Amino acid sequence: MGTTLDDELDHVERCRAGLRRMLEGARDNVIVGESVAGDRYSAERLGRYLKSLAKELSEEPEGPPFFGRLDFGRDSAEHRGRAYHIGRRHITGENGGPPVVIDWRAPVARAFYRASARDPQGVAVRRRFGWRDTTLTGFEDERLGQGEESESRILAAEIERPRVGPMRDIVATIQPEQDDLVRAELDTSLCVQGAPGTGKTAVGLHRAAYLLYAHRRRLERGGVLVLGPNRAFLGYISAVLPALGEVDVEQTTLQRLLGAVAGAAADEEAAAVVKHDERMAKVLRRALYARIRKPVEPVAVPDGSYRWRVEEDELRRIVDDTRRDSLPYGVGRERVRARVVEAIRRQAEARGQTANAAWLRKIGRAVTTWLDAVWPAVKPEEVLYELLRDPSDPARGVLTDAERDVLTWAEPPRSAKSARWSAADLVLLDELACLIERPRGYGHVIVDEAQDLSPMECRAVARRSEHGSLTVLGDLAQGTTPWAATAWPRHMELLGKPDGEVIALTTGFRVPAAVVELANTLLAALEAQVPATRSYRTDGRLRITRVAGLGKGVVAAVREALAFEGSVGVIAADADVEALTSALWNDGLDVGGRLSVLPASMCKGLEYDHVVVAEPAAIAEAERRGLNRLYVALTRAVSRLDVVHARPLPPQLSLPAEAS
Ligand SMILES: Nc1ncnc2c1ncn2[C@@H]1O[C@H](COP(=O)(O)OP(=O)(O)OP(=O)(O)O)[C@@H](O)[C@H]1O
């Protein structure tokens, strides 16, 4: 392996040739795939795989084919004297020779992220490459084998680069404590508590990509699900996994997964609080199972000239036994049917009649009327409709009278069909639907901003990861819902993984130190016990400006911000967004493109190169957890934060000495 830039440029050419070969090979195979595979089913599967590979390779932007290189020393038992280039995807060598690039997820690549001067892991030299677009511009070496380790300029430049466009992958710069989480075993459920910008989202997405690589077969059936807080966030992160070659991960919000549509009804906060409370699980179960009636008379089934009879006592035993089996409601109904049919079959056989499949089906159909009276088929909507009309019975002894009253519809809709469901109702409908029939589970679920999930929402997530594992990402200090988590162990219990380990990430990669310092002054008022963080970034700027008029002040700040490279986000209390957008338009500033104005309620998980937070007091006052919201808003900036205020700042925010 060469060590000069020219040698590396030659290697870039080898990679490009390798990619071309892979693309041609995949295309050829698409053509012949159907004739080589043994049967139609495998032909189709193979064909689909090859087509998607060909598509993936041809659509992949010609990005840098590698970002690092490992030269192993003579003391490495496994890789003695070998060198490997590490990149986003594996690139095959010529004529079946060794690959020219190793996938970052391969076991050998691990040392790229983990080796250090103290523990070189057999690595003599770690090389990091610098690229300008698709051109290789240079590299940095660390001679770990000789105890040399330096602060990487390439690493710092990547972390401090101005942000434009959607979120990018971090494969070239994953930090050791992040790598630990990314490569944790598939069966391990984790909870990552991390301050703003510590890379929780990045870690979650890279974990998804890693698991799909390391456990593709096991995950093929169940799949991987990523849940984020809102659509803007999903839009922001949506390019990361495809850039890593993973296009099959479902990325959505919990609400959308539960079937949310536009125009949902809104709950008063008090009603939402009751609906999201864990005790609702019991209320719903009761409401559903209250539909089951004790059999009060025998069942008679006509069969030609004969009538079969199953006595009341036996029917009661069947229903009671089935209830004790704790099956989903819908499965229980079919089990009761089958047991009644079985009782009739025994009688028939005693009379010397043989019971074939068609006869059994006929008897099964004939008991439906009886079954409908005893264990009726139900739809979740019907159960919830009746519950919200009158929760008295199911809520007795579980909810207080006051809670029962806020749960009750003031004006019930005419029917279950015409009801408009709120966000909280969808969670209740899901609980019911899953009591009736088990939902589809995933092999692995990644939940971002998990601190905001209510106990009932946690249950919805738990049901989808019951037979799989879970990565929970969040920050207790950023909880903004009335039911936000205050401690992770309890939350992990609700999420069905009480043994999941809670791990803290404490180095921030987004927010500059001066901004972190300002935001941290709020922490004491947030009642969240979270570990202190340090910012990796010493660059960046914080400016706090008192203005006479908010609109004018924001326009001036935005004008200045646009002089820099990168995205600009104005974050304001939801009620102020319209007026501020107009002020910017009227001043000839183009909202859209590089400049966004967004309500504080939508800024979670997002980041902008330059952030203007408009009127912190209004953000703090707008909701019960307004200070948490303000904490989120203040921590969206990558390079510069402008705080613009016409009113006094909230007293909980103390200014660092040099900021004002
Ligand atoms: N190892 C890394 N190398 C380069 N950039 C990184 C690294 N880790 C995180 N980042 C960057 O830092 C920024 C913040 O990361 P991310 O959004 O994942 O943090 P977060 O913990 O989810 O933040 P928040 O809680 O505020 O939503 C992103 O731009 C991300 O790409």
State ipTM: 0.98
Helix runs in 325-414, H state only: 329-350, 357-366, 368-374, 380-389, 392-395, 401-407
Mutate to test the pocket of ligand 1, among 226, 509, 567 (most ligand atoms within 8 A of CB): 509
Q: What pTM value is reported for the model?
A: 0.89
Positive/negative CA dihedral, 265, 268, 271, 272 = positive
| Ligand 1 neighbourhood includes 139 CB (under 6 angstroms) | no
Check residue 155 and give its pLDDT: 79
From ligand 1's centre to the CA of 168, what distance in Å?
A: 10
pLDDT digits (tens, 9 = 90+) for 532-543: 778 888 778 999
Give the number of the atom of ligand 1 that is nearest the alpha carbon of residue 204.
18
> Phi and psi for 208 in degrees, rounded to 5?
-60, -45
Whole-number CA gyration radius for the chain: 30
Provide the percentage of residues in the chain whose pLDDT is more than 70: 93
- Using CA atoms, how far residue 407 sits from 196, 284, 362, 456, in Å, is 35, 12, 44, 15
Query: Residue 530: pLDDT band by 50, 70, 90 thresholds?
Result: confident
* Ligand 1 centroid from CA 638, angstroms: 10
CB distance 76 to 91 below 8 Å: no
Residue minimizing CA distance to atom 13 of ligand 1 = 510
pLDDT at 46 over 70: no
**H helix or E strand, kind and range, residue 517:** helix 513-523
Q: Which secondary-structure segment (H or E) carries 123?
A: strand 123-132
516 touches ligand 1 (CB under 6 Å):
no
User: Does ligand 1 come within 6 angstroms of the Cβ of 609?
Assistant: no
Segment 578-599, tens digit of pLDDT: 999 999 999 999 888 899 999 9
In the three-class reduction of DSSP (H, G, I as helix; E, B as strand; rest coil), residue 600 is classed as helix
Order the strands of the 595-599 sheet from edge to edge.
541-546, 637-645, 608-614, 568-572, 595-599
d(CA 508, CA 534): 6
CA of 195 to the centre of ligand 1 (A): 10
Element (H, E) at 403: helix 401-407
Lowest mean pLDDT segment, chosen from 117-126, 270-279, 527-536, 574-583: 527-536
Residue nearest atom 3 of ligand 1, based on CA coordinates: 173
How many A from CA of 114 to the centre of ligand 1? 19
Q: Report residue 325 as tokens.
A: 């089996």
Listing DSSP states for 199-254 in one string gives: SHHHHHHHHHHHHHHHTHHHHHHH-EEEEES-HHHHHHHTTHHHHTT----EEEEH
* Sign of the dihedral defined by the CA atoms of residues 594, 597, 602, 608, in that order: positive
| Residue 110 pLDDT class (50, 70, 90 cuts) | very high
166 neighbors 608 (Cβ within 8 angstroms): no
Residue 507, C-beta contacts closer than 8 angstroms, at least 6 positions apart: 175, 177, 198, 533, 534, 535, 536
Distance CA 515, CA 618 (A): 20
Residue 10: predicted pLDDT? 93
- Tens of pLDDT, residue by residue over 189-217, are 999 999 999 999 999 999 999 999 999 88
- SS3 state at 76: coil
202 CA to centre of ligand 1 in angstroms: 6
Tokens representing 354 are: 């043989």
Asked whether the beta carbons of 81 and 68 are under 8 A apart, the reply is no
* Residue 40: both structure tokens together: 């139609």
Question: What residues have CB less than 8 Å from 26, skipping those under 6 apart?
Answer: 50, 53, 54, 57
Token pair belonging to 298: 């025998």
Strand partners, 60: none
Beta carbon of 122 within 6 Å of any ligand 1 atom: no
Residues 128/67, Cβ–Cβ less than 8 Å: yes
For residue 534, count CB atoms less than 10 angstroms from its CB and return exposed for 0-12, middle for 13-18, buried for 19 or more: exposed
- Contact status, residue 83 vs residue 112, Cβ threshold 8 Å: no
Is residue 160 in contact with ligand 1, taking CB distance under 6 Å? no
Q: Verify whether ligand 1 is closer than 6 Å to residue 200 (CB atom).
A: yes
Task: Give the list of residues 6+ apart from residue 356 with CB closer than 8 angstroms, or none.
Answer: none
Terminal alpha carbon distance of the chain: 55
Q: Which residues contact 578 (CB under 8 A, 6 or more apart)?
A: none
Q: How far is CA 270 from CA 117, 187, 483, in A?
A: 57, 38, 11
Q: Which residue is closest in CA terms to ligand 1's atom 1?
A: 174
Angle, helices 280-289 vs 455-464, to 10°: value is 70
Least confident of 455-469, 512-526, 644-658: 644-658
Residue 102, phi then psi, degrees to nearest 5 = -100, 140
CB of 193 shorter than 6 A to ligand 1: no
Q: Note the pLDDT of residue 660.
A: 46
Q: What is the pLDDT of residues 346-360, one digit of tens each?
A: 999 998 888 889 999
Residue 122 · residue 78 · CB < 8 Å: yes
Query: 444: burial class by Cβ within 10 Å (0-12, 13-18, 19+)?
Result: buried
Given a cut of 60, is residue 61 above it in pLDDT? no
Which H or E element spans position 178? Answer: helix 176-182
Ligand 1 nearest atom to the CA of residue 605, by list position? 27
233 CB within 6 A, ligand 1? no
Distance CA 470, CA 333 (A): 32
Instruction: Name the binding residues.
Output: 194-201
What is the arithmetic mean of pLDDT over 463-471? 94
Residue 440: CB atoms within 10 A of its CB come to 9
CB burial of residue 292 (10 Å; 0-12, 13-18, 19+): middle
Q: Does position 257 have pLDDT exceeding 80, yes or no? A: yes
Mutate to test the pocket of ligand 1, among 510, 533, 539, 630 (most ligand atoms within 8 A of CB): 510
Contact (CB, 8 A) for 178 and 163:
no
